[in-house]
Amino acid sequence: MAAHQDGSEANPSQNLKHGLQSRHLTMISIAGVIGGSLFVGSGSIIYNTGPVVFLTYALGGLLVWFIMRMLGEMAVLNPDSGSFSTYADRAIGRWAGFSIGWLYWCTLAMLMGWEAYVAGKILNNWFPFIPIWAYMVLVIGGLVAVNLQNVKNYGEFEFWFALIKVIAIVIFLVIGSLAIMHLWPWGDVSAAGVTNLTAQGFMPNGASSVITALLGVMFAYIGAEIVTVAAAESENPSKEIRKASNSVVWRIVLFYVGSMFVAVCLIPHNNELLKDSTWGTYSVTLNALGVPEARHIVNFVVLTSVCSCFNSALYTCSRMLFSLAKRGDAPKSFASVNRKSSPWVGVLVSCFFSVIAVILTATKSMDVYDFFMLTTGAATLYVYLTIAYSQLCMRKKLEAEGVNIEFKMWMFPYLTYVVIFAIIAAILTMLIEGTYFKEVIYTTALFGIIVVSGLLSQKLGWGKERRETHLAQIHEEKLV
């Protein structure tokens, strides 16, 4: 067999292998909704929104729950590493699958650069004799090595990363609940009970702040859909997708809504430290409760969280490129797998923006990276809008063909329409209100460019031969 540049032998089947166990997928589904933004980024959202913020997280969580149910309906019938990109391709058209697949790849690939930067900053804060960019290289190199191995290695790393995050959140909820019930004996006496919930107004910045904060909330939730990608590499994809879709609601309620409720009860929403990204919601709350070295403890959790997010984003990006390449919507080499059945080219290419982040950090120009992040600020909403519309089209198509659908979206098509209109209304509100105007405009512009590329790809027939081969293979598998 031919050798690849990474020193491994080519896999003649050029297909992904089943290697993820049920416990891996359980933790991946849990980790998918716990990003570093829960521990750090939520602070600024609380500051700008007020105590009502936990209802904003509940509203965003409800939307994610519905989206996961729609995605689950499609994924149970057709588990695929391309997930919603593949379903958009089949339900709406090739251009749609192309567009949403590449937008999602851009979003996660750029996010990886920020995750590496945050990890490097935390490590540099502890051990300043090594520069941030060097730590970034170490994190990127280590997690690339993980993703070039058997998918089981990725699952194992995510299992332990997720476990640390879950334990940390549970401890936070226990300590916070004790303080709310006046059973926590240490710290600031005023940081107890629920007085902060209404002391300065429950909704100090008006109802519009709830909708405006939704973009930040949705950015925090990005990753919930990763389990539908990972499930394609498990022994029983349909079962795992069902389980993840059904359990997403309690994960959101416990981890996000629960955490935010505890935080706004125990600290004033206008605490200046909440605006400081080096502190974060958990650190400020635990510090007020007198927990020693709270900042360093939370920073350790944030470090594992951003490494987990980077690991999952790299995994998902490589699988998305693999799926796009199989369908003729990306260079053929992106579908190459090594002897460990890892799409090694996709893994390396997906680190593009991470390498840029390292260079910008080394040259003290990391603020330039803000522009890249602006272009994907509202990407989650567009991804969810596409999932909802894909489910609407595919469900109608399958019902017309008489296909038996066991795992269904509730109250179809009415609830699907409600979700579609709610997302469009949220985007329009953000444009009119203005706080996230740039994020929505830049993301829309990027999405528009990708859509035009997708339409050209479809019209000019790029990758047509690969696409026909892929569709024939799918048809053959269904017959078997």
| Residue 292 exposed, middle or buried by CB count within 10 Å (0-12, 13-18, 19+) | exposed
Three-state SS sequence of 265-326:
HHCCCCCHHHHCCCCCHHHHHHHHCCCCCHHHHHHHHHHHHHHHHHHHHHHHHHHHHHHHHH
pLDDT attached to residue 389: 97
pLDDT attached to residue 466: 87
pLDDT attached to residue 136: 97
7 contact partners, CB below 8 Å, separation of at least 6: none
Is the pTM above the cut of 0.75?
yes
Q: Do residues 77 and 222 touch, judged by C-beta distance below 8 A?
A: no
Q: What is the pLDDT tens value at each position of the chain, 480 positions in all?
A: 334 434 333 343 467 777 777 787 877 777 666 777 788 778 888 988 999 999 999 988 899 999 999 999 999 988 888 889 999 999 999 999 999 999 999 999 999 999 999 999 999 999 999 999 999 999 999 999 999 998 888 888 888 888 898 899 999 999 999 999 988 888 776 677 788 888 888 888 877 778 778 777 887 788 788 888 888 888 888 888 888 888 888 888 888 899 999 999 999 998 888 888 778 899 999 998 989 888 899 999 999 989 988 999 999 999 999 999 999 999 999 999 999 889 999 999 999 999 999 999 999 999 888 888 888 888 989 999 999 999 999 999 999 999 899 899 999 999 999 999 999 998 998 888 888 899 999 999 999 999 999 999 888 888 888 888 887 877 666 655
Task: Identify the H or E element spanning 60.
Answer: helix 53-77
- Tokens 């209304």 belong to 425
pLDDT attached to residue 14: 62
Q: Which two tokens stand for residue 181?
A: 């019930």
pLDDT attached to residue 38: 81
Q: How far apart are CA 391 and CA 69, in angstroms?
A: 10
- Tokens 């070039």 belong to 148
**CA 407 to each of CA 243, 364, 391, 410: distance values in angstroms, whole numbers, following the listed order:** 11, 51, 12, 9
DSSP codes of every residue in 160-225: HHHHHHHHHHHHHHHHHHHHHTT---SS-TTSSTTGGGTTT-SSTT-THHHHHTHHHHHHHHTTTT
**CA 434 to each of CA 199, 429, 437: distance values in angstroms, whole numbers, following the listed order:** 28, 8, 5
pLDDT attached to residue 345: 96
Q: Is 24 helix (H, G, I), strand (E, B) or coil?
A: helix
- Tokens 């017309």 belong to 400
pLDDT attached to residue 121: 93
pLDDT attached to residue 5: 39
Q: Do residues 70 and 409 touch, judged by C-beta distance below 8 A?
A: yes
Query: What is the CATH T-level fold of the domain 32-455, as seen in this structure?
Result: Amino acid/polyamine transporter I (1.20.1740)
Count other C-beta atoms under 10 Å from residue 274's C-beta. 24
Q: What is the sign of the dihedral through the CA atoms of 435, 438, 444 and 447?
A: negative
Q: Between the CA atoms of 203, 205, 210 and 213, what dihedral angle is there, to the nearest 10 degrees?
A: -130
Count other C-beta atoms under 10 Å from residue 452's C-beta. 12
- Tokens 């528009």 belong to 448
Q: Which two tokens stand for residue 151?
A: 């998918």
